[in-house]
Amino acid sequence: MKEIEKTLLITAILRPQSRYKIFELSTEHFYIPAHQIIFDALRFLDDQSQNIEINTVRAYLQSVGDYDRCGGDDYFYKELVTADSTFSEGFLVNQLLDRADKEYMKGIVKDVLTGKMTKEEGLLKLDSIGKVESDTFIDIEGFSKLDLDDIFKKENFISTGIPSFDRRNGGVCRTDLIIIAARPKLGKSALALQIANYINHSIFISLEMGRYEIYGRLLAHESGVNSRLIKQKYMTHEQFLKVNKVHLELKDRLKLIFADKIVNLNDIIIFIKKTVSIKKVNAIFIDYIQLIEAGGNMNRDQQIGLISRKLKQTAQTLGIPIFVLSQLKRDSENKHRPTLSDLRESGNLEQDANIVLLLYQDEETGVTEIINAKSRDGESNYTINTMFYKETSKFIEIEV
């Protein structure tokens, strides 16, 4: 949709006759913050009956201090100006309106699943959208003929095993891109593995750990035996029996697919699609995004943007949520609780993600906070308090 938004903006700038239709939209129809700013600028210039062209838009944004926030000359002249302006404004506007309807509908479904709205209220709101004539959208008239349980079935969402998150957000949607970010050694890999173990039938791609190290962490998580002792085979007889029992249980129950030697983005996507074609997959985990190689003549920020966009598209195409781990900026290590701005080499990470979870550990209390910093379709800006037991790679929710 980023390309659609860019195309719509350049169309409004270059084709004056298109503006009456485009300006029926509101700022909220744009997801990219830079595009929201540019759209507001176009509306303002139009309201003031000023001439609208690239240079006048650029001058206005500079005058109000928003030009650099939109990416400056690099974005304006290398991306925005080169966007395709041959599409009809009606097609472009309908694309954004269809997307807005989809997101509105997903929000209703989440509200019903989390108890914020009754099923009857949800159906009334769905009916209020009206019939949308589009092959890419579900006919709302068809919706109204379905049983309510079919509309709001929980199969469209996956529980994570984090009780407070599942209760307040209804789990994750099957097309979500979820970012788990933290500073080193705060447990982001352990949290991802704990969620993968809970969901089961998952792909776990690690660019940092080998598959045997990952499995050792799982054994520690399930048995309660220190992972270091398992790795060094320095266990008591009782501990060995515990670990061996868990190993035998996991052989029957666990359906995790490990990959630890893939670093190229295209190879990762090919591996995911090939695996999904032959096996049941409920979720995909990648540890971690800064180690993925995208290639091409791009700076690292642009590469991360490309990686997040491709992974988002993969999640949407396959209908399988993708959890991606990320580091935080080094200069955030002296701060207190992290924020979205601390995502390292963020590219479009924040924009592409449906959900962003940040980890923070209070050094005085030892409490590890899981901060829901963003949830596009559900509740956000809240903290889940946990104790992270590093020796057994386990997070346990607590009351503080």
Domain boundaries, given as residue ranges, for the chain: 2-87, 100-152, 157-397
Average pLDDT for residues 307-314, to the nearest whole number? 86
Q: Is the pLDDT of residue 327 over 50?
A: yes
Average pLDDT for residues 321-334, to the nearest whole number? 78
b/e 365-382 (16+ beta carbons within 10 angstroms → b): eebbbbbbbbbbbbbbee
Binning pLDDT at 50, 70 and 90, where does residue 181 land?
A: very high
Q: Is the pLDDT of residue 126 over 70?
A: no
Average pLDDT for residues 334-350, to the nearest whole number? 71
Binning pLDDT at 50, 70 and 90, where does residue 256 land?
A: confident
Q: Is the pLDDT of residue 145 over 60?
A: no
Percent of the chain with pLDDT over 90: 10
pLDDT at 158: 87
Q: Is the pLDDT of residue 146 over 80?
A: no
What CATH number belongs to 157-397? Answer: 3.40.50.300
Q: How many CB atoms lie within 10 A of CB 336?
A: 8
Of the listed ranges 139-148, 159-168, 217-226, 325-334, the least confidently predicted one is 139-148
Residue with the bigger pLDDT between 76 and 321: it is 321
Q: Is the pLDDT of residue 151 over 70?
A: no
* Average pLDDT score, the chain: 79
Q: Is the pLDDT of residue 233 over 50?
A: yes
159 in Cβ contact with 394 (< 8 Å): no
- Best-predicted range by mean pLDDT (113-117, 250-254, 298-302, 352-356): 352-356
Q: Is the pLDDT of residue 342 over 60?
A: yes
Average pLDDT for residues 366-381, to the nearest whole number? 87
Binning pLDDT at 50, 70 and 90, where does residue 133 land?
A: very low
pLDDT at 142: 47
pLDDT at 143: 46
Q: Is the pLDDT of residue 375 over 50?
A: yes
Average pLDDT for residues 13-39, to the nearest whole number? 83
pLDDT at 346: 59
Task: Give the count of alpha carbons within 13 A of 185, CB side only.
Answer: 2
Binning pLDDT at 50, 70 and 90, where does residue 356 land?
A: very high
Q: How far apart are CA 10 and CA 86, in angstroms?
A: 10
156 in Cβ contact with 174 (< 8 Å): yes
pLDDT at 366: 84
Separation of CA 172 from chain center: 10
pLDDT at 207: 86
Task: Check if CATH label 2.40.50.140 holds for domain 2-87.
Answer: no
**Predicted structure pTM score:** 0.62
29 in Cβ contact with 101 (< 8 Å): no
Binning pLDDT at 50, 70 and 90, where does residue 372 land?
A: very high
